[in-house]
């Protein structure tokens, strides 16, 4: 009774809301379970403890999870003293034994903890969700834990474990619903839209993992076309006529979506495109060209960041008009300037050795060539907002993939067509841009 009175009349700064105290206790209990799981006792009853821990983690709210992550950093990081001693020993006597000791003490104990958690039913799924929590904005202090999980997930989700499946209208509805929900490049507007995207002149492929059999890991959508398309809207029209596949000579990838936030940075997108290219080549020998119709997500932001530059300032005054693309005179005036600046952005503007544009980095790393920049190709609000309506065709030629990959990764050279190189090399005169 006296204890309750003291709690009631204690200064506010000494009291914590019941919910916060409960979250702290739950997180502290999870850390105690972590220690038990890592003990000899945990090796015997590991599945039971791991299952209990994963359920406990999922029951935590955001504050509880933040507390749990802080405790993981504090209690399951490498011992600096042990690392220093092992490093000194290896430096003095570099042998397989001293190297093995150094490798053992450098590895964070969290990695072994996550391996043991993964033995529980559904463990992989929860660990992927955990990394998604760690990648939330403002979680930079938890980067070591996110890096530990990325290291493990990269091994667990390597190409040998991934299964490629074609998605069509016969695929279970539960998976089709997830395609609608996950699509990140061009929103799918309901079942009618999805049905058109899965028609006979389209292809959709996804990677699945045995630990997540009902969850697409990443999927790609392609249109089978005659010639390399330069506009997005006809491909996205749910009422568009279905084309004759027998006349198609191009497979055009117009969307690729990573479905699991917790697997960001795990490199399986390149495997997907390359395998789809090989499979389509076997299925449809008439397909001679494999290309993308890709957004340029950082282009408009880059223009805004360089607003004060003489060749950009006047251009942005016109781009700020939300109806600029509907005005034929303004659009014609802007066209040469935007095409030049976009080519310069893709070929010359870099962060370190890599292009600023994330989509460019992805395709160039996979061995594609920057083939063409398309004018007013995506006039949706999203396309205008991020790319000023422009899109890019990257071309995948099987015979050139390895060479292009080497040029990009080893020499930081961007394989590009003469057309794109010419656009970057010849800026239009700023005086030709008439200001209102």
Q: Would you state the pLDDT for residue 132?
A: 95
Q: Are 50 and 116 in contact (CB under 8 A)?
A: yes
pLDDT band at residue 435 under the 50/70/90 scheme: very low
CA distances from 239 to 90, 284, 379 (A): 68, 25, 18
Q: Is the dihedral of CA 29, 34, 40, 42 positive or negative?
A: positive
Domains of the chain and CATH, by start: 2-156 (1.20.140.90), 159-292 (3.40.630.180), 299-432 (3.40.630.150)
DSSP state of 136: S
Q: Which of 37-51, 236-250, 295-309, 362-376 has the lowest mean pLDDT?
A: 37-51
Find the mean pLDDT for residues 345-355.
94
Find the mean pLDDT for residues 357-382.
95
Q: Would you state the pLDDT for residue 340?
A: 96
The whole-model pTM stands at 0.86
CA distances from 39 to 71, 78, 104 (A): 18, 17, 17
pLDDT band at residue 359 under the 50/70/90 scheme: very high
Q: Are 33 and 49 in contact (CB under 8 A)?
A: yes
Q: What does the alpha-carbon distance between residue 168 and residue 198 come to, in Å, rounded to a whole number?
A: 5
Complete DSSP assignment for 175-222: HHHHHHHH--SS---HHHHHHHHTSTTEEEEEEEBTTBTTS-SEEEEE
| pLDDT over 90 at 314, yes or no | no
Q: Would you state the pLDDT for residue 80?
A: 93
Pick the catalytic residue from 229, 363, 377, 387: 363
| pLDDT over 60 at 9, yes or no | no
DSSP state of 162: -
Q: Would you state the pLDDT for residue 42?
A: 67
Q: CB neighbours of 314 closer than 8 A, spacing ≥ 6?
A: 430, 433, 435
Q: Assess whether 387 carries a catalytic annotation.
A: no
Q: CB neighbours of 380 closer than 8 A, spacing ≥ 6?
A: 186, 232, 233
Beta-sheet pairing, 289-292 with 391-396: antiparallel
Q: What does the alpha-carbon distance between residue 305 and residue 1 come to, in Å, rounded to a whole number?
A: 64
pLDDT band at residue 4 under the 50/70/90 scheme: very low
Q: What is the tens place of the pLDDT at every residue in 176-193?
A: 999 999 999 999 999 999
3-state class (DSSP) for residue 337 = helix
Q: What does the alpha-carbon distance between residue 71 and residue 28 come to, in Å, rounded to a whole number?
A: 8
Q: What is the tens place of the pLDDT at every residue in 383-415?
A: 999 999 999 999 999 889 899 999 999 999 999
| pLDDT over 50 at 207, yes or no | yes
3-state class (DSSP) for residue 222 = strand
Q: What does the alpha-carbon distance between residue 422 and residue 312 come to, in Å, rounded to a whole number?
A: 19
Q: What does the alpha-carbon distance between residue 267 and residue 287 come to, in Å, rounded to a whole number?
A: 27
Pick the catalytic residue from 294, 340, 377, 387: 294
Q: Assess whether 363 carries a catalytic annotation.
A: yes
């Amino acid at each position: 009774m006296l204890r309750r009175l003291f709690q009631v009349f204690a200064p506010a700064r000494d009291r914590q809301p019941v919910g916060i105290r409960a979250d702290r206790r739950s997180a502290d209990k999870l850390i105690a379970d972590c220690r038990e799981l890592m003990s000899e006792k945990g090796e015997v009853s590991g599945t039971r403890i791991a299952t209990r821990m994963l359920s406990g983690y999922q029951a935590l709210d955001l504050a509880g999870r933040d507390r749990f992550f802080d405790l993981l950093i504090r209690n399951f990081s490498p011992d600096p003293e042990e690392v220093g001693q092992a490093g000194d020993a290896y430096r003095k006597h570099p042998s397989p034994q001293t190297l093995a000791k150094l490798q053992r003490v450098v590895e964070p104990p969290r990695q072994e903890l996550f391996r043991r958690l993964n033995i529980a039913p559904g463990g992989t799924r929860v660990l992927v969700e955990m990394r998604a929590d760690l990648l939330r904005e403002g979680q930079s202090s938890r980067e070591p834990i996110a890096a530990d999980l990325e290291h493990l997930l990269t091994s667990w989700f390597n190409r040998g474990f991934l299964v490629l499946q074609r998605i069509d209208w016969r695929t279970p509805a539960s998976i089709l619903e997830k395609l609608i929900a996950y699509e990140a490049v061009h929103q799918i507007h309901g079942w009618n839209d999805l049905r058109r995207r899965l028609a006979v002149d389209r292809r959709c492929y996804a990677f699945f993992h045995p630990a997540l059999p009902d969850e697409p890991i990443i999927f790609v959508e392609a249109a089978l076309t005659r010639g390399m398309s330069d506009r997005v809207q006809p491909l996205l029209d749910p009422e568009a006529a279905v084309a004759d596949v027998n006349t198609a000579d191009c497979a055009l990838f117009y969307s690729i979506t990573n479905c699991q936030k917790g697997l960001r940075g795990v490199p399986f997108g390149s495997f997907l495109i390359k395998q789809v290219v090989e499979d389509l080549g076997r299925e449809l020998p008439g397909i001679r060209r494999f290309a993308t119709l890709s957004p340029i997500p950082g282009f408009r932001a880059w223009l805004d960041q360089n607003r004060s530059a003489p060749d950009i300032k006047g251009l942005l005054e016109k781009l700020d008009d939300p109806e600029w693309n509907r005005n034929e005179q303004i659009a014609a005036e802007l066209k040469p300037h935007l095409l030049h600046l976009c080519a310069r952005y893709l070929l010359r503007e870099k962060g370190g050795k890599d292009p600023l544009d994330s989509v460019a980095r992805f395709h160039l790393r996979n061995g594609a060539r920057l083939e063409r920049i398309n004018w007013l190709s995506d006039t949706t609000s999203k396309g205008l907002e991020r790319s000023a309506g422009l899109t890019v065709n990257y071309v995948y030629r099987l015979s050139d993939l390895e060479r292009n990959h080497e040029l990009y990764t080893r020499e930081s050279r961007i394989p590009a067509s003469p057309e794109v190189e010419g656009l970057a090399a010849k800026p239009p005169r700023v005086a030709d841009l008439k200001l209102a």
